[in-house]
Amino acid sequence: VITSDATSIVLGDALQKEIPDIISTVTTTPAFWFTKFNITHGDVTMKATGNFASNNFFTVFPHELLHGNRSSLLADKNNMVISEGLAKKLFNTTENAVGKVLQWKWWNFDLQCIVTGVYRDAPANATHQFDCILSLDAWGRDIMHWPSPDPADIGGGPFNTYVVVRKDADIDKLNAAIAPFISRKFPKSNTTLFLRRYSSQYLYGNYVNGKQEGGRIAYVKLFSLI
């Protein structure tokens, strides 16, 4: 049994529509990608680590916003949200960064984007470190040339799906409800779904034959013992 966090680009929307205990979802290109982009403003070009995310990324993940409207940061495929550090490197200040036009390039793909927000740099112990977030629509339309994702294609893909559940949700019952979510729609599929707490991925990220089998927590126990 192989365990993976790779999911379909449309899985989150499908879960939110059909599972009442799921109140919001975010889809990103795989977090381990966090690609190095070339970011250009005028005559200045520099490397920046970034990722593609769905438009509600900043309403779910609590990054402190210095400038911009949180509810519409990634409303358009040509939007980009940058870190405080990147803003200072590009413009020497975080002020007046919103509305500036940047050119990003990754492999053979490039696009002009408008800065719609600036967020405070993540602390050193944050799970994900990135300099910018781009719209997932830019990935689909400009890199993959999708007119729009197929809503029925929930079976697989490289994307990461994050869900926000109701505070009073019974996680065991919720897992039981979503486990056959894909096989109900595709009877030949042998894929089952389950939820993992975001806070568990760092120390408890290893799975063997479909069962959780520790992870970095082993090092914590070893060093504690020593």
Whole-number Å distance between alpha carbons of 106 and 224? 43
Q: Classify burial at 164, counting beta carbons within 10 Å of its beta carbon; exposed 0-12, middle 13-18, buried 19 or more.
A: middle
Q: What token pair was written down for 129? A: 């470190």
- Provide the whole-model pTM: 0.89
* Predicted pLDDT of residue 32: 80
Q: How many helices (H) and strands (E) does the chain have?
A: 7, 11
Whole-number Å distance between alpha carbons of 71 and 199? 24
* Predicted pLDDT of residue 9: 92
Distances in Å between the Cα of 209 and the Cα atoms of 3, 148, 171, 178, 185 are 8, 35, 22, 20, 24
* Predicted pLDDT of residue 108: 85
**C-alpha dihedral, 135 to 8 to 211 to 221, nearest 10°:** -10
Whole-number Å distance between alpha carbons of 138 and 101? 15
- List of residues 6+ apart from 189 with CB closer than 8 A: 155, 182, 183
Q: What token pair was written down for 194? A: 């389950």
DSSP state of 146: -
Whole-number Å distance between alpha carbons of 132 and 50? 5
Question: Among 165, 164, 131, 196, which residue's Cα sits nearest to residue 61?
Answer: 164
* Predicted pLDDT of residue 106: 87
SS3 (DSSP) at 40: strand
* Predicted pLDDT of residue 67: 97
φ, ψ of residue 207 to 5 degrees: the values are -130, 135
Q: In tens digits, what is the pLDDT along the chain, a chain of 226 residues?
A: 999 999 999 999 999 999 999 999 999 998 788 778 999 999 999 999 999 999 999 999 989 999 999 989 999 999 999 999 999 999 999 999 999 999 999 888 888 999 999 999 999 888 888 999 999 998 887 777 777 777 778 877 899 999 999 999 999 999 999 999 999 988 888 999 999 999 898 899 889 998 888 899 999 999 999 9
Whole-number Å distance between alpha carbons of 157 and 10? 9
Whole-number Å distance between alpha carbons of 91 and 46? 12
SS3 (DSSP) at 64: coil
* Predicted pLDDT of residue 205: 87
Contact 53, 74 (CB under 8 A): yes
